[in-house]
Amino acid sequence: MNDGKYHPPESNLKRLEIRNPITQGRRAWAYISHDGKLIMSDDGDVWVRHSPEDVFGSKDAAREFAKEQKFRPPPNIRAGSPYDIAPYKEHCCRVIANKPLDNSLSSRLVRWLLNSKYVEKF
């Protein structure tokens, strides 16, 4: 059974802190990976920051994706279209967020999740 403390599977990680505006004291609340892509809170929550590179595997692959016309909004904005409130960059971010991560980041994320509160330990 977990003692209520969660630790990422990587070593020598930096701690994230919150500064109390009144006392100026600091309280550590999470670990962050060396590349800044993964965060695990002391409560066992995990966050992942990803970019087009992390999704497509390389800058070149991300550039090729951005050139694909099917991901661009239609030239004429139509009533009821999501593009009347979502410009191209927001649309690309939404598409990227819904694509699977590259294998290297995915495997690291799985290891972090195995150490998080999302997996019941026996």
Domain of 106, in residue numbers: 1-50+102-122
For residue 38, the model assigns a pLDDT of 92
Q: Check whether residue 82 and residue 122 sit in a common domain.
A: no
For residue 77, the model assigns a pLDDT of 60
Q: Check whether residue 111 and residue 96 sit in a common domain.
A: no
For residue 7, the model assigns a pLDDT of 87
- Cα(19)–Cα(116) distance, integer angstroms: 25
Q: Check whether residue 89 and residue 115 sit in a common domain.
A: no
Q: Residues in the chain, how many?
A: 122
- Cα(32)–Cα(23) distance, integer angstroms: 25
For residue 25, the model assigns a pLDDT of 85
Do β-strands 38-41 and 46-48 pair in parallel, antiparallel, or remain unpaired?
A: antiparallel
For residue 64, the model assigns a pLDDT of 82
Q: Check whether residue 10 and residue 43 sit in a common domain.
A: yes
Mean pLDDT, consecutive 10-residue stretches, the chain (122 aa), reads 74 90 86 92 89 80 74 59 58 70 82 82 48
Q: Check whether residue 109 and residue 95 sit in a common domain.
A: no
Q: Check whether residue 38 and residue 64 sit in a common domain.
A: no
Burial bucket for residue 44 (CB in 10 Å: 0-12, 13-18, 19+): middle
Domain count, the chain: 2
